[in-house]
Structure formats: C-alpha cells, structure tokens
Chains A and B, each alone.
Chain A
C-alpha cells in the first residue's frame, strides 16, 4: 500500500473527540487568519436577502458581495461532507453509548437501524418525507434554530466556538441558553413526541 492510501485509511477511522476538536480549532485559525470569523447561521440571512427579503424589510438589506465568502464556505461544507460520505466514511456507524441506545429503543428508535444510510447520523425511520409527524417536527426544529440563531446573533459556530474563544460573556450566556433549551426539549418535550 502506498503512503497516501495508508493516510486515507487512517483518516477514515472514527475520530477521537480530541481530534475532532483540534480540527474545528484549525478551521477557527484559518478563518481568523483569512480575516473572517467562523459563523454559519448568517448564511440563512444571506439566503433571505438573495430571495428578495431585502425588499420587504430593511434588516435584510446587506452588501451580498461582502457575503460571497460565506456562501462559498457553506457550499464547501456540503461538498466536503459529500466527499467524506463517498471516500472517508467510517467502517461502522457512530458508536454512541449503550445507555442512549437503550433509551431510544424504548422510544421505538432502534439504533443503528433507524438510520437508513447506516451511518448513525440521523433517524430517518422517524424523520422522513413519508412521516407527516416527522416532517412537521423537522420544520419546527429548523424554524427554531433559524429564529433563535438570528435573535441571539449567532449559532454554535459563532457563539460556542468563536465567541467563547474570544472570551465573550454574551456568547457564554447564549451557550447557557442553548443548554436550557436543549435540555428542556430532550428531557421534557421530545419523549412525548415520538
């Protein structure tokens, strides 16, 4: 085997969390060095503006030329993820903990069978185009993420990663909010929705 094939085999293995965190920190470094900051949710605002929302509301009036880099960045995320699914896919689905597997089994979500793509990324058995309940909840989830991230001025990348790296108190409070909302959803709402 050549060295490059060995390298690809090595990358394909499931990553230790420290490697994942280091990878994200590398992205933070590159973006900062390139004069921008790591922020993804603003792309939703860009799409609003592209779709003509700037004619309805001044909030969406922006210089899209200044935002081209971000749209190319998210396009890159889609391409890089596709490449990973084709060439760097882990041999096994995500190894989540046994207690999470047991809990989800009790809710009718068998792991890893619930993901039709067998990667352990998303429960397609519940969230799919033929399950109306799944579609409605997916729409609600997407809406809350879009609304909340713009209201809070950023999402996980802008606040939890970039903002905290800059030691910002507003970002810390927003991240505390992420957990308040997430804990309420996962412990007190979602169990009754499946």
Chain B
C-alpha cells in the first residue's frame, strides 16, 4: 500500500509541474535566453525552500517512513563527468524543451509526440549502459 501513496504524490507532482509552467518548451527557450525570471524563480524558490526543509528535517531528526533519519548518499566528485554529462543533458533539454518529469507531464497533457521522446530517452539510457565503461567518470 505504501507504493500507492507515491501514485498520489505523483498526481500532485503532475498538477504542480503543469501549473508552474516548467513543462513549457517556450518557458525553457525563454530561460536560456534570459528573457524572464519565471524559470529561475520557480527553481530558485524550490531549492531555497527544499534546502530549508531538508536542514530542518535533519536538525530535528525527523523519522522517515523507512524508520531512518534523512540522509544523502553523495556521488563521488568528478569535475569531468559532471560537466560533460550535464552538458549532454543540457543540449537535449534546450532542444526538446523538456527534462524527464515534464516529458511525462506533457504526455499527460495530450502531447503524443512525447511517447516517442520518452522512448528515445529510454534508448539513450540503454546506450549509456552499454558504453559507460568507455566514458570518463
């Protein structure tokens, strides 16, 4: 039953992603052209509030459903990997105008081309799995 709670949180997330307009290809163009505060405002507010929430949850040792306190498993620092991988992602983000969450949200909003775009993202993930040993990490 716990798993189904995530369906509910997913529904809430779909509403938030759509109403906050972060799923708009046009908003992404506008963001990378620095022509509006909108996307920076959404992401900035989310990060500032998110950081405050995480800090308070750690400070007050809030127990999660797993019975543990809030922790984070860091990934090893690798400048090359983060900048390279991030840039590849960014090229796709600027082109398709949607990152993974919004891809699902746009599909839900009736943009059927996202069936193909999501399939392509799954294929990209598959190709990464095949050649990951050859990439700098």
Contacts and interface: CB of A to CB of B under 8 A. Distances in A.
Interface string A34-71: 11110011011101100101001101100000001110
Contact of B50 (A19, A135, A145, A161): A161
Given A142-B118, A151-B132, A178 B124 contact: no
Given A142-B103, A143-B121, A157-B100, A100 B77 contact: no
A148 B91 contact: yes
Interface in B56-104: 57, 62, 64-66, 68, 70, 72, 74-79, 81-101, 103-104
Please report whether the interface of chain B is mostly helix, strand, loop or mixed according to DSSP: helix
B54 A117 contact: no
A60 B108 CA distance: 27
Interface residues of B, number: 113
B121 A123 contact: no
Contacts of B106: 81, 121-122
A48 B10 contact: no
Given A152-B85, A152-B86, A80 B32 contact: no
Interface residues of A, number: 125
B83 A34 contact: no
Interface string B18-44: 111111111111111101111101111
B117 A35 contact: no
Contact of A44 (B43, B78, B122): B122
A105 interface: no
Consensus secondary structure, chain A interface: helix
A27 B3 CA distance: 15
Contacts of A2: none
Interface string A9-45: 0010011011111111111111111111100110111
A91 interface: no
A80 B108 contact: yes
Contacts of B98: 122, 145
A132 interface: no
Nearest to A25: B49
Given A96-B30, A180-B87, A147 B124 contact: yes
A18 B77 CA distance: 31
A165 to B, nearest CB: 3
B9 A31 contact: yes
Given A27-B13, A99-B35, A143 B75 contact: no
B10 A75 contact: yes
Contacts of B13: 27, 73, 76-77, 80
15 contacts: A44-B100, A73-B10, A74-B104, A76-B13, A140-B95, A143-B123, A146-B123, A146-B125, A148-B124, A149-B100, A157-B99, A178-B89, A181-B86, A185-B93, A190-B95
